[in-house]
Homo-oligomer: A and B are copies of this chain.
Amino acid sequence: MIKIAIDAMGGDFAPDEIVKGVEIARDRYPELEFQLFGTADKVRPLIQNDDRITLIPTTEEIEMGEEPVKAMKNKQDSSLVRAAQAVKEGSADALFSAGNTGAILSSAIFIVGRIKGVDRPALASAIPSFGGPNDSFVFMDLGANAENKPSHLYQYGILGSFYAQSVMGIKDPRVRLLNNGGEEDKGDETHKEAHQLMKQATAFNFLGNVESREILEGTADVVVADGFSGNAALKAMEGTALTMMDQLKDSIKLTGFRGILGALLLKPALRSLKHKMDFNEQGGAVVLGVKAPVVKTHGSAKANAVANTMGQIEKMVQEDLVGKTTAFIKENADSLKAKKIEK
Of the candidates B213, B239, B258, the one whose C-beta lies within 8 Å of that of A239 is: B213
A229 within 8 A of B: yes
Q: Which of A238-263 contact B (CB under 8 A)?
A: 238-244, 246-248, 251-252, 254-255, 258-259, 261-263
Residue-wise, chain A 265-285 has the 8 Å CB interface mask toward B (1 for contact) of 110111011001100000000
A211 within 8 A of B: yes
Q: A244-B277, A269-B254 are in contact. Are A232 and B235 (CB under 8 A)?
A: no
A215 within 8 A of B: yes
| A301, B254: Cα distance in complex, Å | 29
Contact B239 A241 (CB under 8 A): no
A236 within 8 A of B: yes
**Chain B residues closer than 8 Å to A276, beta-carbon distance:** 247
Of the candidates B225, B235, B264, the one whose C-beta lies within 8 Å of that of A213 is: B235
Contact A265 B268 (CB under 8 A): no
Q: Is the interface of A mostly helix, strand, loop or mixed?
A: helix
| A213, B272: Cα distance in complex, Å | 22
Q: Which of A119-140 contact B (CB under 8 A)?
A: 130
**Chain B residues closer than 8 Å to A232, beta-carbon distance:** 178, 180, 212, 225, 229, 232-233, 236
A336 within 8 A of B: no
Not counting A130-B246, A240-B244, A251-B268, a sample of 5 additional A-B residue pairs whose C-beta atoms are within 8 angstroms of each other reads A213-B236, A213-B242, A217-B243, A240-B277, A259-B265
| A214, B243: Cα distance in complex, Å | 9
| A143, B211: Cα distance in complex, Å | 12
Q: Which of A210-225 contact B (CB under 8 A)?
A: 211-217, 225
**Chain B residues closer than 8 Å to A89, beta-carbon distance:** none
Contact A147 B188 (CB under 8 A): yes
Contact B266 A228 (CB under 8 A): no
Contact A238 B213 (CB under 8 A): yes
A201 within 8 A of B: no
| A25, B226: Cα distance in complex, Å | 44
| A232, B186: Cα distance in complex, Å | 13
Of the candidates B216, B243, B266, the one whose C-beta lies within 8 Å of that of A266 is: B266
Min distance, Cβ A246 to any Cβ of chain B, angstroms: 7
| A186, B212: Cα distance in complex, Å | 23
Contact B252 A239 (CB under 8 A): no
Q: Which 9 A-B pairs have the closest CB atoms?
A: A262-B265, A251-B269, A262-B266, A213-B235, A213-B239, A212-B236, A236-B236, A240-B240, A233-B236
